[in-house]
Amino acid sequence: MKQLVFATNNAHKLEEVEAKLAGRIQLLSFDDIDCHDDIAETGTTFRDNASIKSHYIYDKYRVNCFGDDSGLEIDALNGEPGVYSARYAGQQGNHAANNALVLKNLAGKGNRKARFRTVISLMWEGAEYFFEGMVEGTIREELSGTAGFGYDPIFQPDGYDITFAEMTLAEKNNISHRAAAVAQLITFLNAQ
């Protein structure tokens, strides 16, 4: 079985990707390779940040790996929060504050179109490959649901009347931005 390190400290992301791999590829975490480094995401695009993470792990540990960067882009906010999605309200990973700030900034705006975007950078045998997934939707006016993480309670994907936070992990994994990017990654790996 192929092994692949996922360059993330986010347990929710790891769980989502493991569910998609369904035992076809052994996914290793930072703990599995004894990495306790905090990799600074200093890029200005999702692609930059994904690449920073995968190159860091590959250069330091010489293992096949991938990093991703994901975020929410809202049309009425000129693409915000974008690459700053995890720290939009200031503190890294404060989901409640991030959601509250988005809802505040969208107050009174009619256009609530948004999308989640994921970019994966794969370092495989010394070469870099990119995969991208996206899901379109709208931002709800209030939180709804308790599953998922991040902006899931305010994001309603097109074609659904519930938010990501009201879906099971399996339902979300069928349509999410990360699932779409991971599907491309799996197709690539299966061809190797």
- Catalogue the active-site residues: 69
Helix or strand (DSSP H, E) at 120: strand 113-124
Residues facing 137 on adjacent strands: 114, 157
- Spatial contact of 67 and 50, defined as CB atoms under 8 Å apart: yes
User: How far from the centroid of its chain's Cα atoms is residue 184's Cα?
Assistant: 14
User: Residue 22: is it exposed, middle or buried by C-beta count within 10 angstroms (0-12/13-18/19+)?
Assistant: exposed
Using alpha carbons only, how large is the chain's radius of gyration in Å?
16
Question: In degrees rounded to 5, what are phi and psi of residue 14?
Answer: -60, -45
Residues facing 65 on adjacent strands: 5, 123
d(CA 99, CA 65): 31
